[in-house]
Structure 1
Amino acid sequence: MADPLDVACATLARGAAAFAGTSSESRARLARDTARAVAAAADAWIDAAVAIKSRHESGTRPATAAAPHLLAEETATGPMGALRLLLITARALDDVARRGVPRSALAPHVLPTAGPEGAGFVALGLLPEPGLHDAAIMRGVTAVTRCVNPGGIEAFMRSWREEAGERPRAGGVAFVLGAGNVTGLAAADCISQIFEYGRAVLLKLHPLHAPLQPALREALRPLVDAGLLEIVSGGVEMARAGVAAAAVTHVHLTGGRGAFDALVWGADGPLAGGTPVLDKPITCELGNVTPWIVVPGRYTPRQLRFQADTVAASIANNTSFNCIATKCLVTCRSWRQREEFLGLVTARLAGLPARLAWYPGSTAAWEAATGRIAPGDGTLPWVFRAGVDRNHEPHWLTREWFAPIAVEAPLEADGIDAFCGVARNFTRGLPGSLAASITVPESLSAHERQRVDQLIDHLAYGVVAVNVWSAFGYALGSVPWGGYPGGTLADPGSGIGRVHDPLLLPLVHNSVLRGPLESRLTPPWFPWHSQGPRLARGVLAMYAARAGGGSGLWELASMLPAVLGE
């Protein structure tokens, strides 16, 4: 009897070969069909995700009802995110069919900022995304992707046309190893591999997400029916079999450095020898000890509170089991408002209920970091430790703690100039290069502003976010997502390659997001927002309406009472 995995891979190889000859128009239709399927399966997806995160890592499940924050988070990071990515992908493919490049109206322009080897950058503003009502939903947020300048705008446009025409037709079969912390990551990785690289996908779900398999299969049914996707679940043996399958031509991993090293180098790791055991190309996203830098200066009480709340929410989201959960708050020790800011962050986290330890290994991680025994009720209390010195307590900053833990590292600096220099050097010593956030005061002189802009330009991260959580870079769907350029098999940093690049941009360097320093409205992703689940459902319904050919305006207007009612 034929091995089921071999049969699945043979189906995928045929599907990839057929897909290579399809037009951009037909690919856009497939993306929209998949968006409609995601909308139809959204309830089942959310229910499965909530059930997964309502069960302790030991396998026991509390009898309590799902908390509102859980419903909001699983809606936003599951089907809502997949819908947005598919809608952007479909529009981009339509544009490629008509004009040769996605979103030609983006008007790329040359920046004076020096890039690698002295080259400048070509910049493209990615927001708002047409038709998705970003002006209302992403109020005040901008996103600019910086690409290495190949010699002017005409040369860049040629590169972009070549990239848009060739990359989505690469062909082959990708073996995707899905992450276990966010249910939407595996789906997004599959969408990216299929539409951005032209590969069929054999997806291995993380063992934690095995209960999600039926809902995810229905959500992505058009891709399954097209012979472009097969979904399996399993552990290490399934991973080995998938990597070894003859039809698999590419491997993509979203996970940790340990999993990457095991795949590429084997049990002995990269230092034992010089030859990888993996003989296939691999791309990956490996996480980050995510910093949030606060530039010293004078902030109003409203600005200080809003930024402190944003930092706290970025720690608390998904129980801090995120590759971009803020893990290190970087401050200036002599900043006059430092103690007040730390007090606001501490108080906000202290006011949140402890969350269940649902991610495998999280209890052991929490205990190893804190040196304490976790509570017997299965929850993990929030830990925010101020005043950490990397030289005396290095364990807080030498690994990405997948636990509700964050620290503050105050740096010695006299003035903005000095702080920008030491902050840049400090972040270069942190593991990872995926994303960073930075809070910048309005009360800066022209010289100080220039110095801070230089810091932002030269932070070595795939996404740098000003006054906003860097996770927005992933949530937007159109921002290329991955580690800072330069990752290798021996030293991958936060990863090799990128996902979430539906605009098929060439020569990507990194992206810079900017958001408001304060807001009178509580952002719906803050876990204490009383209307969070309703608003997440509203955005999901709006995207579903767009996928079905509607305007989404009714769904958008229906959210107004929830926005104003907070």
Structure 2
Amino acid sequence: MNPSKIDIDRNISKLRVHSSEFLNLDKANLINMLDQTIDNIKTISYYWATLASEKKGILNKSKEGEEWIGGPFACIYAIQYFKDTLMNEDGLDKSKYDDSKKSYKAFPTKNIEKLLFPFLEGEVRFGKNLNFDQINEYRGFANRFKNNKPRITLVLGAGNVTSIPVLDALFHMIAYKSVIYLKLNPVNDYLLPIFTQVFEPFISRGFMIVTEGNMEASKYLTQHDGFHQTHLTGSNYTYENIVYGRILNDKERSLKTLPKINKKPITSELGNVTPIIVHPGNWSRSEIKHQAKKIVTAKLNNSGFNCIAAQVIVLPKDWKHTQRLKEEIIYYLKKAGDTTSYYPGANENLNELIETNNYEQINSLSCNTPFLVSDLDLEKEYANKEVWSTALYFKQIPFTSYEDFALNSINYVNNELWGNLGVTVLIKNHKKKTNQSILNMYVEELKYGTVAINEWSALGFVIPTMPWGGYPGNKDNDIQSGQGYVHNSLLFESPQKGVVYSKFRLSPIIDPPWFVTNKKAHRIFKNLTYYQATNSKINLIKLIFSTLI
């Protein structure tokens, strides 16, 4: 049921009444409420994951794993890290800081994570003008000040990944000590009873409101004077409508500044034309297959409805493996078979693309959702906007040496593709001394909020200590992937980017559980969620067995 304007006014008044109490809530009380929230997620997690799977029309059981890791697991994991930050009185560990790289090692932080996420590492990079003491001092947002004013934040929930509204609300609640009005997206407002139960400790005390809301309600909310700040996860067009009252044209986006009709502070995460850069090297046949499965996973996870879904595969022109890699990508797209385009308008968009005759449909014509591939040079507009579906594009970059390819591909994705949320680089032997200068070039020069080496950049979304958002510096009237960060459980105030590292190939025997080719994903991520919530040895044993049997 959509709230009326009177309902919205009453809800905001309720939040205002309780905002001072929440601002002055002691840490012990807040941590206790977060513990209750974890218990509530654990209780309702099975219903949460299965309901989301049903509503998205998931066609095979293993794909339900996406709803476990991208739903209850991600939320439990983040809350536990926020608790760690709240309980930590000692500040950052200086031994994890590398002044030469201006980086702080943020993952793994626990021994069990080395078992659960083998070979996965994460670091946060900062600007060259900052030192460790400054990074440590300017951390915490409202938590490092004593004389804060009560704050009410409007969070406009995303419609695709079910953990996003929870994670966005948690960050603003903890970082800014703000009470929250969470308005769900119509695409997944079936989550209302779930989130009402999850956040019961906060809702019952007047610290949070969770509602549905159609376009009329959303417009009233975003223009309401009762909010001090808005956070949006969605599209850049939604952002422009909120801030400027219309979708801007290219000329308006190129201006130095543009007058706003809505001057309220707004943070945002707005998606990306996500590139995967394939660095040339000597790959074996099995390695080509593995990287193809990784790329197909980055495209088909959540049916392609991710702000970080792979869109442009940047390939070395005339590299000896380019054609074979493309063939393997097409093979695994075809093997995946079908999915459901649950997002409104997606199927119509795919059918329009087919009619251009610039695409090859990989799967059967009888499938619910066509899987399409094309050369980006034939569809240049999709360098500048998200396709938001199961279409994938190839772009070949000429080069004369490995260093030349790195430089050319960096210049291409930084300057020719829209957005700067995340990028992946697939590079064999990235830790070898001979590759160090090339690796450093990728990590330092790619202007993206998350740079992932040998892993889909979405892994940065799941790691709570990593900041999640666009690269700093996006203009208000050319917003790209947005402004500000969420997740970021260490509460860094000026991160430049997160960097994720993984092995080129984790195992020659089994695919990682998040790969679309892993048929055990639903069992693995269900058991991982229950283990994360309980820290039970029995659940750990179940988790280990589910990966093997």
Q: Which of 343-352 and 43-52 deviates more? A: 43-52
> Match for residue 28 of structure 2?
25
Distance in 2 (CA, whole Å) between partners of 1:34 and 1:542 is 16
Partner of 1:441: 428
- The separation in 1 between residues aligned to 2:391 and 2:498, in whole angstroms, is 27
What's the counterpart of residue 515 of structure 2?
Answer: 526
State how far apart, in whole Å, the 2-side matches of 1:500 and 1:73 are. Answer: 19
Amino acid at match of 2:383: L
Shift of 1:163: 6.7
CA deviation vs aligned residue, 1:356-411 (integer Å, no higher than 9, x gap): 221111012212333269999671121233x432xx53133221001101111111
Moved more, 147-156 or 468-477: 147-156
In the alignment, is residue 305 of structure 1 matched against residue 292 of structure 2? no
CA distance in 1, matches of 2:367, 2:153: 37
Separation (CA, whole Å) in 2 of partners of 1:524 and 1:365 = 30
One-letter amino acid of the structure 2 residue matched with residue 53 of structure 1: K
Instruction: Decide whether aligned partners of structure 1 residues 403 and 155 sit closer, same or farther in structure 2, where only a CA change above 3 A counts.
Output: closer
Q: Deviations over 1:252-297 (max 9, x none)?
A: 1100111011000003637669321112100000000000001101
**Given residue 55 of structure 2, which amino acid in structure 1 is its aligned partner?**
I
Provide the rounded CA distance (Å) in 1 between the counterparts of 2:430 and 2:244.
50
Is the Cα contact below 8 Å between 2:152 and 2:179 reproduced in 1?
yes
Does structure 1 residue 141 correspond to structure 2 residue 120? Answer: yes
Partner of 1:421: 407
Quote the residue 2:9 is aligned against: 6
Matched, 1:409 2:395: yes
Task: Work out whether residues 110 and 152 of structure 1, in 8 Å CA contact, stay in contact via their aligned partners in 2.
Answer: no
Alignment of 1:411-560 (within 5 A): 411-428=397-414, 429-442=416-429, 446=433, 448-520=435-507, 521-545=510-534, 551-560=535-544
Distance of 2:213 and 2:207 partners within structure 1: 20
1:39-98 superposed Cα distances (whole Å, 9 cap, x missing partner): 1121232233123202xxxxxxxxxx8521332111111111111111111111111xx3
Query: Residue type of the partner of 2:22?
Result: F
What is residue 60 of structure 1 aligned with on the other side? none
Q: Is the 8 A contact 1:169 1:197 kept in 2?
A: no
TM-score after normalising by structure 2: 0.91
Residue in structure 2 matching 1:185, options 139, 148, 164 = 164
Secondary structure at the aligned position of 1:559 is classed as helix
* CA distance 1:106–1:311, change in 2 (3 Å): farther
What's the offset of the Cα at 1:170?
6.2
Among 227, 234, 237, the alignment partner of 1:248 is: 227
Q: Find 1:45's aligned residue among 48, 56, 71.
A: 48
Paired residues of 1:484 and 1:510 also in contact (CA < 8 A): yes
Q: Is the 8 A contact 1:255 1:285 kept in 2?
A: yes
Distance 1:199 1:355, change over 3 A: same
CA contact (8 A) 1:28 1:91 kept: no
**Quick check: 2:315–2:394 contact (8 Å CA) kept in 1?**
yes
Q: Which residue in 2 is equivalent to 1:165?
A: 144
* Closer/same/farther in 2, CA of residues 306 and 152 from structure 1, 3 Å limit: same
Give ranges in structure 1 of 5+ residues lacking alignment. 55-64, 114-120, 546-550
1:2 CA displacement: 8.9
1:75–1:540 Cα contact (<8 Å) kept:
yes
Task: Decide whether the 8 Å contact of 1:163 with 1:504 is kept in 2.
Answer: no
Change over 3 Å in CA distance of 1:21–1:424 after alignment to 2:
same
Give 1:556 deviation, angstroms.
1.6
Contact (CA 8 Å) 2:119, 2:506: kept in 1 or not?
no
Q: Which amino acid in 2 is paired with 1:127?
A: F
CA contact (8 A) 1:141 1:514 kept: yes
1:99-118 superposed Cα distances (whole Å, 9 cap, x missing partner): 3x3xx3363424435xxxxx
**In the alignment, is the contact (CA less than 8 A) between 2:229 and 2:264 conserved in 1?**
yes
Deviation at 1:155, TM superposition (A): 3.2
Distance 2:331 2:506 in 1: 19
Deviation at 1:149, TM superposition (A): 4.9
Cα distance in 1 for partners of 2:301, 2:337 equals 12
Residue of structure 2 in register with 1:322 after alignment: 306
State the Cα RMSD in Å: 2.4
Opposite residue 249 of structure 1, the aligned amino acid is H
Shift, 1:152, TM fit: 3.0
Q: Deviations over 1:122-178 (max 9, x none)?
A: x111112437x2111111000000123555323333223677523996641111111
Q: Number of residue pairs matched?
A: 533
Q: Aligned partners of 2:150 and 2:127: how far apart in 1?
A: 26
Give the counterpart letter for 2:469 in structure 1: G
**Retained in 1: the 8 A contact 2:512–2:518?**
yes
CA spacing shift, 1:468–1:19, aligned 2, 3 Å: same
Alpha carbons of structure 1 residues 111 and 454: separation in structure 2 relative to 1, 3 Å: farther
| 2:107 counterpart SS class | coil
Percent identical among aligned pairs is: 21
Offset, 1:28: 2.0
Bigger shift: residues 306-315 or 435-444: 435-444
Distance in 2 (alpha carbons) for counterparts of 1:241 and 1:197: 24
Residues 160 and 411 (structure 1 numbering): CA distance in 2 closer, same or farther, change over 3 Å? same
Q: Determine helix, strand or coil for the equivalent of 2:504.
A: coil
| Distance in 1, Cα, partners of 2:379 & 2:130 | 47
Aligned to 1:235: 214
Secondary structure, aligned partner of 2:293: helix
Q: Counterpart of 1:564?
A: 548
Cα distance in 1 between the residues matched to 2:326 and 2:410:
21
Give the Cα–Cα distance (whole angstroms) in 2 for the partners of residues 90 and 522 of structure 1. Answer: 32
Amino acid of the structure 2 residue aligned with 1:3: I
- Contact 1:479–1:511, Cα closer than 8 Å, also in 2: yes
The question of whether the paired residues in 2 share the 8 Å contact of 1:416 and 1:448 is answered with no
Matches of 1:19 and 1:444, distance apart in 2? 47
2:404 maps to a residue whose letter is A
The answer on 1:344 being equivalent to 2:328 is yes
2:457 alignment partner, SS class:
coil
The change in CA–CA distance for 1:434 and 1:268 in structure 2 (over 3 A counts) is closer
Could you tell me how far apart the structure 1 residues matched to 2:390 and 2:482 are? Answer: 23
AA aligned to 2:38 is A
* Comparing 18-27 and 472-481, the one that deviates more: 18-27
More off after superposition, 432-441 vs 374-383: 374-383
Q: Structure 1 residues 495, 534: closer, same or farther in 2, change over 3 A?
A: same
Gaps of 5+ in 2: none
Query: Aligned to 1:90, which of 83, 94, 119?
Result: 83
Letter in 2 for 1:419: F
Q: Which moved more, 1:421-430 or 1:553-562?
A: 553-562
Contact 1:164–1:504 (CA under 8 A) maintained in structure 2: no
| Aligned counterparts of 2:185 and 2:217: Cα–Cα separation in 1 | 10
* 1:180 partner letter: G
Aligned-partner Cα distance in 2 for 1:255–1:460:
21
Distance 1:537 1:169 in 2: 40
C-alpha contact (below 8 Å) 1:334/1:414 kept by paired residues: no
